[in-house]
């Protein structure tokens, strides 16, 4: 899908409205929203987004209570907004309660209204208890509307918290995704994640105010395709503005000076696990079905990440550094230590021959020495190296238990540096059961692709080990909020308010141990910022259990990982319950495994 009405370099203004709707006062709500929409249109916005259920309020008890306020699409409300769209030549996303005249079924819906009337509608797919009191789950496909201002995707609130929904829209060619929210936590965090991983603009409009004891969080924002934040409104009714450049949305580049690409470097043939809807089943029973691979017994373990600057090409010196860290008093408390990607060799090679000069088979001296240390210190170790098997080289991480080699993972998603010398791994995304729990391993660039972590979560991973040598993405900071939200992650200014590695953990209800290199190698400056992140609340609202190292020092950071469960039959621990998997709607996900999704044609047209 390529929008041909405008060139790829077409630029225009967008607006997101933040509003405190009042229940039982639909006419007043619509009057206020029309005024704010008119204000945005007069300011030159070509696309304007209103919050979820903004015309009627949100916290309805049942069908009977909301019945006087539902209406069809098209209908009187969409007609009123269409008049503004017609006068100003703009597009408006309207959050409202819809009734289907043919069935009398109610939906939490949005309508995209343009200069000629209703372009399309979407019904919320991932409903929460508030909708279940009165509405049915949406029965329309995830939409990408082709318009004269580009390809517009639309979702509603919880939809965007499920990584696959935005991924589907991006793969179908969306340039930007509009997400009306009525959220008690800031949609800003997930919006930035979705913008970064998909290379799209995210226009997120949230509710504000207090309604039947529910405090909405505000934080309406507009995010760029690189994951930076254009604009954010903390509290109160109002409008925020941003700029869309279709060329930026269609590049899909991770970094400006490399060939690394968010869509071309995907591996759709390896994401088949995503289509399995395991979340609707009790994980404590599902994973042990037929007596096969039950989850390891729950326990409390101490996990460590080591942030180091290896000496390029000097395996002996790097092994000595690893030994010093493993035997240090701080690391002595750890049950498992994760080291960076390629920490035994350095991460930047000019040629395949140079990489071969430091490569070893898994039965070579490096792994043998690490096995000796793991046995002597009673540790589990995850270490990155250049593996040689015959004439083939792999960017590999090994998992070593006190009893010996417990597993290996060969990096699947290769960045432009890896492609100089490495062959992608062909063993999928395996998990390994050891004493500390079920372990998945991903290497650096793998974590840029949300499908990889999701596959491991579906397999029941407690902990994602992420040995890395990456230079970004940069964290995004937020200032303090004036909104009295129950879960605030930024009581004061926090330069790490959004951090990709935290987002990966929360998206999948896993612990994540991110061990990154620091220092500069041949012009590449690695970002450090290693950390361990807990599974958090699946909606991203609660403060996360985590520890993060300073970005510029060698350090060992530790965190307790708890996989215990209070009930032998039902999961009570977030890392075992994996609520993030329960709300997925796999029937819409086919394009995730398509060999040639429409977005590749979009990229080719730039």
pLDDT in tens, 566-583: 888 899 999 999 999 998
pLDDT bucket at 7, cuts 50 / 70 / 90 = low
Judged against a pLDDT cut of 90, whether residue 229 lies above it is answered with yes
Determine the average pLDDT of the residues in 138-154: 97
pLDDT for residue 6: 62
Q: Which two tokens stand for residue 179?
A: 């997400």
Judged against a pLDDT cut of 60, whether residue 261 lies above it is answered with yes
pLDDT bucket at 537, cuts 50 / 70 / 90 = low
pLDDT for residue 4: 47
Q: Which two tokens stand for residue 41?
A: 């249109």
pLDDT for residue 266: 98
Determine the average pLDDT of the residues in 237-256: 94
How far is residue 247 from each of residues 250, 369, 452, measured CA to CA in Å? 5, 51, 27
**DSSP letters spanning 262-301:** TTTT--GGG-GGGG--GGGS-HHHHTTGGGS-PPPPP-EE
Question: What single-letter DSSP state applies at residue 247?
Answer: H
pLDDT bucket at 495, cuts 50 / 70 / 90 = confident
Determine the average pLDDT of the residues in 165-189: 92
Determine the average pLDDT of the residues in 198-213: 97
pLDDT for residue 38: 98
Identify the helix (H) or strand (E) that includes residue 352. Answer: helix 352-356
Determine the average pLDDT of the residues in 91-96: 98
Percent of the chain with pLDDT over 70: 96
pLDDT digits (tens, 9 = 90+) for 281-314: 999 999 999 999 999 999 999 999 999 999 999 9
pLDDT for residue 485: 77
pLDDT for residue 402: 98
pLDDT for residue 323: 96
pLDDT bucket at 140, cuts 50 / 70 / 90 = very high
pLDDT for residue 1: 56
pLDDT for residue 258: 72
Give the chain's domains with CATH numbers. Answer: 12-251 (3.60.110.10), 301-586 (3.60.110.10)
Dihedrals phi, psi of 248, to nearest 5 degrees: -65, -40
The CA distance from 138 to 243, in Å, is: 30
* Ranges assigned E (strand) in 447-602: 463-468, 476-478, 494-498, 511-516, 518-521, 524-527, 531-533, 546-548, 555-562
């Amino acid at each position: 899908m390529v929008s041909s009405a405008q060139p790829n370099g077409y630029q225009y203004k967008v607006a997101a409205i933040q509003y405190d709707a009042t229940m039982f006062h639909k006419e007043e709500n619509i009057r206020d929203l029309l005024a704010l929409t008119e204000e945005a249109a007069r300011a030159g916005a070509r696309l304007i987004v209103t919050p979820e259920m903004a015309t009627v309020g949100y916290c309805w008890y049942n069908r009977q209570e909301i019945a006087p306020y539902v209406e069809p699409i098209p209908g009187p409300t969409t007609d009123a907004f269409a008049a503004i769209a017609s006068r100003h030549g703009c597009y408006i996303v309207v959050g409202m309660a819809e009734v289907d005249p043919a069935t009398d079924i109610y939906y939490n819906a949005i309508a995209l209204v343009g200069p000629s009337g209703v372009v399309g509608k979407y019904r919320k797919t991932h409903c929460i208890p508030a909708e279940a009191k009165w509405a049915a789950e949406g029965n329309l496909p995830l939409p990408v509307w082709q318009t004269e201002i580009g390809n517009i995707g639309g979702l509603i609130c919880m939809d965007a918290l499920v990584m696959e929904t935005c991924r589907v829209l991006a793969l179908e060619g969306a340039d930007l995704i509009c997400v009306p929210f009525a959220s008690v936590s800031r949609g800003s965090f997930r919006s930035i994640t979705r913008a970064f991983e998909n290379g799209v603009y995210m226009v997120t409009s949230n509710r504000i105010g207090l309604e039947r004891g529910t405090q909405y969080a505000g934080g309406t924002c507009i995010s760029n395709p690189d994951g930076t934040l254009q604009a954010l409104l903390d509290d109160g009714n109002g409008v925020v503005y941003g700029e869309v450049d279709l060329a930026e949305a269609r590049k899909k580049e991770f970094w400006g000076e490399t060939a690394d690409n968010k869509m071309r470097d995907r591996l759709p043939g390896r994401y088949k696990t995503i289509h399995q809807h395991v979340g609707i089943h009790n994980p404590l029973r599902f994973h042990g079905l037929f007596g096969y691979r039950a989850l390891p017994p729950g326990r409390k373990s101490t996990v460590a990440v080591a942030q180091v600057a290896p000496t390029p090409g000097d395996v002996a010196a790097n092994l000595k550094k690893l030994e010093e860290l493993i035997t240090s008093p701080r690391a002595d408390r750890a049950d498992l230590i994760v080291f960076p990607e390629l920490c035994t060799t350095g991460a930047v090679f000019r040629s395949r021959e140079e990489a071969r000069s430091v490569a070893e088979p898994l039965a070579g001296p490096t792994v043998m020495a690490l096995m000796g240390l793991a046995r002597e210190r009673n540790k589990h170790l995850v270490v990155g190296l250049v593996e040689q098997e015959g004439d083939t080289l792999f960017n590999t991480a090994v998992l070593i238990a006190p009893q010996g080699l417990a597993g290996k993972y060969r990096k699947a998603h290769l960045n432009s540096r890896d492609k100089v010398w490495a062959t992608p791994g062909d063993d999928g995304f395996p998990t390994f059961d050891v004493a500390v729990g079920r372990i998945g391993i991903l290497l650096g660039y793998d974590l840029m692709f949300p499908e990889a972590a999701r596959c491991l979560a579906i397999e029941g991973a407690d902990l994602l080990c992420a040995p890395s040598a990456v230079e970004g993405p940069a964290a995004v900071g937020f200032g303090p909020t004036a909104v009295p939200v129950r879960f605030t992650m930024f009581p004061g200014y926090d330069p790490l308010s959004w951090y990709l590695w935290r987002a990966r953990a929360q998206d999948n209800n896993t612990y994540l141990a991110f061990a990154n290199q620091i220092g500069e190698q041949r012009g590449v400056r690695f970002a450090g910022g290693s950390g361990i992140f807990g599974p958090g609340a699946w909606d991203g609202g609660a403060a996360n259990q985590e520890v993060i190292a300073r970005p510029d020092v060698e350090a060992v950071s530790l965190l307790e990982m708890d996989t215990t469960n209070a009930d032998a039959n039902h999961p009570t621990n977030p890392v075992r319950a994996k609520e993030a998997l329960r709300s997925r709607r796999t029937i819409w996900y086919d394009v995730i495994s398509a060999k040639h999704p429409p977005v590749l044609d979009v990229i080719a047209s730039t």
